[in-house]
Amino acid sequence: MIPRYARPEMTDIWSAQTKYRIWFEIEAHAATRMAELGVIPEQAAKTVWEKGSQAAFDSDRIDEIEREVKHDVIAFLTHLSEIVGPEARYVHQGMTSSDILDTCLSVQLARASDLLLAGMDRVLASLKLRAMEHKNTICVGRSHAIHAEPTTFGLKLATFYAEFERGKRRLEAARAEIAVCAISGAVGTFANVDPSVEAYVADKMGLAVEPVSTQIIPRDRHAAFFAALGIIASSIERLAVEVRHLQRSEVLEAEEYFSKGQKGSSAMPHKRNPILTENLTGLARLVRMCVIPAMENVALWHERDISHSSVERGIAPDATIHLDFALHRLAGVIENLVVYPDRMKENLDKLGGLIFSQRVLLALTQAGVSREDSYSWVQRNAMPAWRGEGRFIDNLKADKDVTSRIEPSQLDKLFDLDHHTRHVDVIFSRVFG
């Protein structure tokens, strides 16, 4: 993570102070329940809360201890004992380090999910607003980047809205799956800690209990979480690539907002580059690169090894921080996107009416011509128009085979933009309700 692509709301979740505060709360809640069970003195649990709640944990001191003991949780517990005093000996009874580490990671990922879901909501709101604005703004649809048939810019945006809605549902499901607590001891058998401690801590930390853990929470949960983030990143990139294409000088149907005083190139003063969407394309790669390592973390040895640990210390903050930033940047791009309807109309006719070729093909088949002959007749009139040799409609009207089956006046009616947009309302009702 680098600050350039981070929002403080998300980076705070991954700060050392936040981590140590969560570690403390897990330990303190566990102590409270253990006191209720009579495992430790009630006063000890109260002292842990009273002294620990007021403390600002010293990251430098914890790092200093860790350099000696070579264990981060032990270093934290040692520092906690310096704050709490003798009663700290009752902390961590029957627990293992992963009980703290994994439960903390679950809390952090759940909190990160909430911020990501808020970012998704902003993207969805901006897409809906602009889709409604351009519901009937005619533009050309492209396949293989080549003009295909007419559509509307609103429909383009509606496809992205539906995609991000699916992404949001996946993230909600991934959040629910990752938000689990495991305080079950060294190999998950609760040998030295009562299962009610796990349930108590889970409730206090806003988590569910892991039904069956080893020493750790199973990593298929984490793999599903990062996969959901990767798909959202790909959706961001798809929309970013669309904007980048539409901003090309030869197309210029839409472009990123270019603010007063903004400069596009150190060498060429005329440049207005799609830098935000190019940046989003790169950020999507950074998020997606976290998915495969998360998948590889699933197959750990027996009840646990720590090969996943170094991976998650990197991918958890990186993926969530980058995706959070990307979502808000994307929302800004959509909200401020400059759209050029006149240019869209101009581009519609770039190929001299070839976008209506399918309508002519279908009309010929309905007039009794075989599909093979219909295709051949249409194509032999389309290719000259493609090369700029006459307009498609004029070529068709000069073809006796075509006009023997379709009157010239009927041919004109086939070149109708409204025919291609007559079901926009139906599609919008499916997407937006």
Token output for 292:
């495969």
| pLDDT score recorded for residue 261 | 84
| pLDDT score recorded for residue 208 | 98
pLDDT band at 99 (very low <50, low <70, confident <90, very high): very high
Examine the pLDDT at 360 and tell me if it is beyond 90. yes
208-209 and 180-181 strand pairing: parallel
Exposed / middle / buried, residue 218 (Cβ in 10 Å: 0-12, 13-18, 19+): middle
Beta bridge partners of 140: 150
| pLDDT score recorded for residue 263 | 83
Nearest to 365 by CA among 354, 355, 352, 378: 378
Domains assigned to the chain: 1-93 (1.10.275.10), 96-346 (1.20.200.10), 354-414 (1.10.40.30)
Token output for 381:
């009139």
Examine the pLDDT at 268 and tell me if it is beyond 90. no
Examine the pLDDT at 79 and tell me if it is beyond 80. yes
| Percentage of the residues of the chain whose pLDDT score is greater than 90 | 94
Cα torsion 181, 187, 188, 191: sign: negative
pLDDT band at 229 (very low <50, low <70, confident <90, very high): very high
Residue 141 phi, psi (nearest 5): -90, 145
Examine the pLDDT at 172 and tell me if it is beyond 80. yes
Q: Which residues are catalytic?
A: 144, 265
Name residues whose C-beta falls within 8 Å of residue 86's C-beta, 6 or more positions apart in sequence.
Answer: none
Token output for 273:
């580059």
Examine the pLDDT at 246 and tell me if it is beyond 90. yes
> pTM for the whole thing?
0.95
Examine the pLDDT at 376 and tell me if it is beyond 80. yes
| pLDDT score recorded for residue 270 | 85
Residue-wise pLDDT tens digits, 385-425: 999 999 999 999 999 999 999 999 999 999 999 999 999 99
Examine the pLDDT at 265 and tell me if it is beyond 80. no
Exposed / middle / buried, residue 372 (Cβ in 10 Å: 0-12, 13-18, 19+): exposed
| pLDDT score recorded for residue 424 | 98
Residue 199, amino acid: A
Task: Give the residue carrying structure tokens 């620990």.
Answer: 52
Instruction: Map the chain to HEC letters.
Output: CCHHHCCHHHHHHHCHHHHHHHHHHHHHHHHHHHHHCCCCCHHHHHHHHHHHHCCCCCHHHHHHHHHHHCCHHHHHHHHHHHHHCHHHHHCCCCCCHHHHHHHHHHHHHHHHHHHHHHHHHHHHHHHHHHHHHCCCCEEEEEECCEEEEEEEHHHHHHHHHHHHHHHHHHHHHHHHHHCEECCCCCCCCCCCCCHHHHHHHHHHCCCEECCCCCCCCCCHHHHHHHHHHHHHHHHHHHHHHHHHHHCCCCCCCEECCCCCCCCCCCCCCCCCCCHHHHHHHHHHHHHHCCHHHHHHCCCCCCCCCCHHHHHHHHHHHHHHHHHHHHHHHHHHHHHHCEECHHHHHHHHCCCCCHHHHHHHHHHHHHCCCCHHHHHHHHHHHHHHHHCCCCCHHHHHHCCHHHHCCCCHHHHHHHCCHHHHHCCHHHHHHHHHC
Q: CA 52 to CA 55: how far, in whole Å?
A: 5
**Inter-residue contact 281 to 287 (CB < 8 Å):** no
Mean pLDDT of the chain: 96
Name residues whose C-beta falls within 8 Å of residue 400's C-beta, 6 or more positions apart in sequence.
Answer: none
Residue-wise pLDDT tens digits, 305-331: 999 999 999 999 999 999 999 999 999
Q: CA 187 to CA 302: how far, in whole Å?
A: 10
pLDDT band at 271 (very low <50, low <70, confident <90, very high): confident
Q: CA 19 to CA 143: how far, in whole Å?
A: 48
Mean of pLDDT values over 258-272:
82
**7-45 burial, b for 16+ CB within 10 Å, e for fewer?**
beebbebbeeebbbbbbbbbbbbbbbbbbeeebbeeebb
Mean of pLDDT values over 66-74:
97
Cα angle 59-64-69, degrees, rounded to a multiple of 5: 120
The CA-to-CA distance between both ends of the chain, in Å, stands at 39
Least confident of 152-161, 268-277, 291-300: 268-277
Residue-wise pLDDT tens digits, 39-52: 999 999 999 999 99
Nearest to 330 by CA among 167, 120, 171: 120
Residue-wise pLDDT tens digits, 108-155: 999 999 999 999 999 999 999 999 999 999 999 999 999 999 999 999
| pLDDT score recorded for residue 103 | 98
Compute the chain's Rg from CA coordinates.
Answer: 30
| pLDDT score recorded for residue 303 | 93
